């Protein structure tokens, strides 16, 4: 697949996946009593409200990892801040897993009505419209599974660190917070550059992808 062709398929997936991820963070926080996401204009699927230029570029380059602008939230509005933060954090990766399942279902419907086997579509060229649509949804499944598992890593500022803080006793918070700021992001970039990051989440992505498609 040519780079330009893949980018044309990748960009709409990127816009939807990152926007829904951040929207769900804001929506759950809003439903838990926090007006901040709404007042900051983040309860929208408009990609312009969510996209981070660097995070989007990283996703385009890696086809696996990326991020959007974090939705501003205020846990003080929650009845139970620790539980609330955990639910808000789960909502983002949850939206990506939902999209992966939805896109996989659509891809299987395409295969079913095209009167061709899954293997035939994967092995053939991508010249006709049916095959192009299949490749688009196949790519969407991979990206959303990757985003979902990536964000579940327990490294700040990823969602997984906040989920872990909601599970562990409060006395462990200080250890997780030590990675906040530039340290966590530097660690993630280092893991991505060395290939360790994909070695961690790759088997999970491939396993679930194999089940879905």
pLDDT of the chain, 213 residues: tens digit per residue: 556 777 777 888 888 998 999 999 999 999 999 999 999 999 999 888 888 877 777 777 776 667 778 899 999 999 999 999 999 999 999 999 999 999 999 988 877 776 655 556 555 554 466 777 888 899 899 999 999 999 999 888 889 999 999 898 888 888 888 777 677 777 877 887 788 888 999 999 999 999 998
pLDDT at 121: 55
Active site residue 180: no
Which residue in 14, 16, 22, 155 is the catalytic one?
22
pLDDT at 118: 56
pLDDT at 115: 60
The pTM for the full model equals 0.86
Q: How many CB atoms lie within 10 A of CB 162?
A: 21
Check if the beta carbon of residue 145 is closer than 8 Å to that of residue 208: yes
β-bridge partners, 68: 51
- The phi, psi pair for 68, rounded to 5°, reads -120, 180
Check if the beta carbon of residue 154 is closer than 8 Å to that of residue 160: yes
pLDDT at 95: 97
Residue 201 token pair? 């989440």
Domain ranges within the chain, ordered by starting residue: 1-210
**Count helices and strands in the chain by DSSP H and E runs:** 10, 0
DSSP annotation of 69 reads: P
What does the alpha-carbon distance between residue 88 and residue 28 come to, in Å, rounded to a whole number? 6
What does the alpha-carbon distance between residue 44 and residue 47 come to, in Å, rounded to a whole number? 8
pLDDT at 127: 47
What does the alpha-carbon distance between residue 197 and residue 191 come to, in Å, rounded to a whole number? 5
pLDDT at 124: 57
Give the SS3 label for residue 124.
Answer: coil
What does the alpha-carbon distance between residue 111 and residue 107 come to, in Å, rounded to a whole number? 6
């Amino acid at each position: 697949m040519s780079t330009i062709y893949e980018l044309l398929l990748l960009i709409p997936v990127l816009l939807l996946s990152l926007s829904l991820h951040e929207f769900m963070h804001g929506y759950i926080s809003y439903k838990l009593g926090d007006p901040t996401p709404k007042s900051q204009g983040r309860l929208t699927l408009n990609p312009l409200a969510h996209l981070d230029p660097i995070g989007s570029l990283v996703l385009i380059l890696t086809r696996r990892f990326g991020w959007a602008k974090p939705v501003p939230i205020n846990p003080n509005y929650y009845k139970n801040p620790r539980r609330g933060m955990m639910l808000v954090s789960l909502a983002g990766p949850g939206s990506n897993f939902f999209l992966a399942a939805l896109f996989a279902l659509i891809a299987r419907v395409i295969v079913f009505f095209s009167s061709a086997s899954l293997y035939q579509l994967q092995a053939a060229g991508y010249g006709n419209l049916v095959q192009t649509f299949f490749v688009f949804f196949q790519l969407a499944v991979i990206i959303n599974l990757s985003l979902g598992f990536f964000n579940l890593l327990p490294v700040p500022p990823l969602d997984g660190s906040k989920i872990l803080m909601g599970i562990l006793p409060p006395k462990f918070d200080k250890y997780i917070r030590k990675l906040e700021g530039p340290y966590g992001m530097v660690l993630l970039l280092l893991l991505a550059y060395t290939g360790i990051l994909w070695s961690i989440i790759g088997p999970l992505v491939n396993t679930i992808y194999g089940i879905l498609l």
